[in-house]
Structure 1
Amino acid sequence: MGRKFELRKEVELAATPQQVWDAIATGPGMEAWFMAQPAPDAGACEVWQPPAHLSITTPAGPDGSFHAFEYLIEAKDGGSTVLRFVHSGFLGDDWGAEYEGMTSRGWDMYLHTLAEYFRHFAGRPAVYLTAEGPEASAKPEAWPVLLRGLGLERDPALGERVRLTPAGLPPIEGVVDWVEEPGGDFLAVRAEDGLYRFHGRAALGMAIAVGHHVYTPVDRAAADEAWARWLHGLYPAQG
């Protein structure tokens, strides 16, 4: 039997309401902290009130599932802005019990990334890089392999300075800016040129992925290919 769900989040951002609106309602803005995707269609939104209120609902799937996303933007004294976000909807029978928990943690990370963008890279155009590992990386034991491939022997702590050394790619020097609860398969590093994110998705039966936000000019296709080649090299095909 399907079920309703609702996730509520709130984050204070070092930005104006217009800057926050641009980050959630434009393609370049979303690429700076979330993913590369088309901007919301104002005509298809339930609410389109820049720069204060945005509400979007996806079409229902064959099983009745749908998702609704609401953003409320409020200016605060001192020049900051509070973003209140609600992700709600209906999940069909095929959606696993772990969906809400993992999605909630995912939004925590993405909203933190938005805050980091405004704090350290505001106004700089971003290139979103993404790649996935092979099927072999969808197993729980694959995460330590990724860490060793980055030159790490363990999950680093929040605030720890690290130097990542993926073979065939430029080293990344920076600070760990986000950690999950112990045992979480996620690594987030803020470097001088971008926000680097490594996602372990074994709990969903999905391969490890990277989703980096780079704030310097880069050839997206070549960089995506290089990261994919590196990931696949960590997990050789079993003959």
Structure 2
Amino acid sequence: MSKEFEIAREFEVDATPQQVWDAITTGTDGWQWPSECEPREGGAAGMGHTVTVWDPPHRFAVRAENLQEIIPTQALNQLDHTIEPRDGGRRAWVRYVHSGIFTDDWDNQYDGASKHTDFYLHTLREYLVHFAGRPVAFSTLDGPEASKAPNAFEAVGRALGLADDTVEGTRVQVRGPKGRLLDAVVDFRNPCFIGLRTDDALLRFFGRNHWGAPVGISVHDFAPDADAKADEAAWQDWLDGVYA
């Protein structure tokens, strides 16, 4: 049964309105995934969207209809960003609204979208504060079928070497690909997601098994010699090994 939804969030961030605008329009691979858009109202945007509002650096909105070929459980999707200056333009206030129509499995779809929103917007703030404007190599990957199990995401924390009581803000050494130790800060952690920030990367771990999908990883690598394909291969081998 089709039903409308709306997910709204507001936050302030230590970044200028222009930096926020750049991040949500041309720098999405630094915190979410690569997405291009024509810089005008009526322009094409990623995943079949059309730009409905283009007012830099104040408001940006997109809309997509007839999404079933891309997202079988969704008929309409709208994203709306409002940006206002704070502290004389040194900071920004952002309001984000994600709305549309889910056509099936409404409760599960809404829960997943809402929780992913919190993680993505947190990652946006991490990007703006620590890496804004830096070139990035982006890669993303999914785990094997076994990572769909109800308790599969717990294995990710153990494989990284995180204790059950390791909380956000903790500086840690985690075990990455081929057993390499990585110095990082746990910038986000709950039962569904883990976020790690190193000096040169944002590492995102997604417990999508909670919604019937495989566990996933995204790597935003800002190192000068970053290699997206090498990152993908290394972390794929690591993630496959977690469930071997």
Question: Which residues of 2 match residues 1-239 of structure 1 at below 5 A?
Answer: 1-26=1-26, 29-39=27-37, 42=40, 43=43, 44-62=50-68, 65-78=75-88, 79-92=90-103, 94-154=104-164, 156-168=166-178, 170-180=180-190, 184-216=191-223, 217-236=225-244
Q: Structure 2: how far apart are the matches of 1:162 and 1:80? A: 29
Q: Structure 1: how far apart are the matches of 2:99 and 2:116? A: 14
Work out the number of aligned pairs and report it. 230
TM-superposed CA distance for 1:144, in Å, is 2.7
Q: Structure 2: how far apart are the matches of 1:84 and 1:229? A: 38
Q: Is contact 1:47-1:54 (8 Å) kept?
A: yes
- Unaligned 5+ segments in structure 2 are 44-49
For residue 107 of structure 2, give the secondary structure of its aligned residue in structure 1: coil
Q: Structure 2: how far apart are the matches of 1:153 and 1:11? A: 30
For residue 142 of structure 1, give the secondary structure of its aligned residue in structure 2: coil
Q: Structure 2: how far apart are the matches of 1:201 and 1:185? A: 7
For residue 133 of structure 2, give the secondary structure of its aligned residue in structure 1: coil
Task: Report the RMSD for the aligned CA atoms in angstroms.
Answer: 1.9
Q: Is contact 1:25-1:40 (8 Å) kept?
A: no
194-203 vs 160-169, greater mean Cα deviation: 160-169
Runs of at least 4 residues of structure 1 off by over 6 A?
none
Give the aligned residue type for 2:34: A
Q: Is contact 2:168-2:186 (8 Å) kept?
A: yes
Q: Structure 1: how far apart are the matches of 2:162 and 2:14? A: 32
For residue 218 of structure 2, give the secondary structure of its aligned residue in structure 1: strand
Q: Is contact 2:148-2:213 (8 Å) kept?
A: yes
* CA distance 1:215–1:41, shift in 2 (3 Å): same
Give the aligned residue type for 2:242: L
Q: Is contact 1:151-1:166 (8 Å) kept?
A: no
Q: Is contact 2:136-2:226 (8 Å) kept?
A: no
Q: Structure 2: how far apart are the matches of 1:142 and 1:25? A: 34
Give the aligned residue type for 1:142: A
Deviations 1:208-227 (A, max 9, x none): 11112221131111210111
Deviations 1:23-74 (A, max 9, x none): 1111xx1011111232356323111111111110012235771100001111
Question: TM-score scaled by structure 1?
Answer: 0.89
Q: Structure 1: how far apart are the matches of 2:91 and 2:128? A: 10
Q: Is contact 1:68-1:88 (8 Å) kept?
A: yes
* CA distance 1:61–1:34, shift in 2 (3 Å): closer
Q: Structure 1: how far apart are the matches of 2:179 and 2:167? A: 23
TM-superposed CA distance for 1:106, in Å, is 1.2
Deviations 1:179-207 (A, max 9, x none): 23xxx132111111111111111121111
Q: Structure 1: how far apart are the matches of 2:51 and 2:171? A: 42
Identity level (%)? 37
Q: Structure 2: how far apart are the matches of 1:80 and 1:124? A: 19
- Unaligned 5+ segments in structure 1 are none
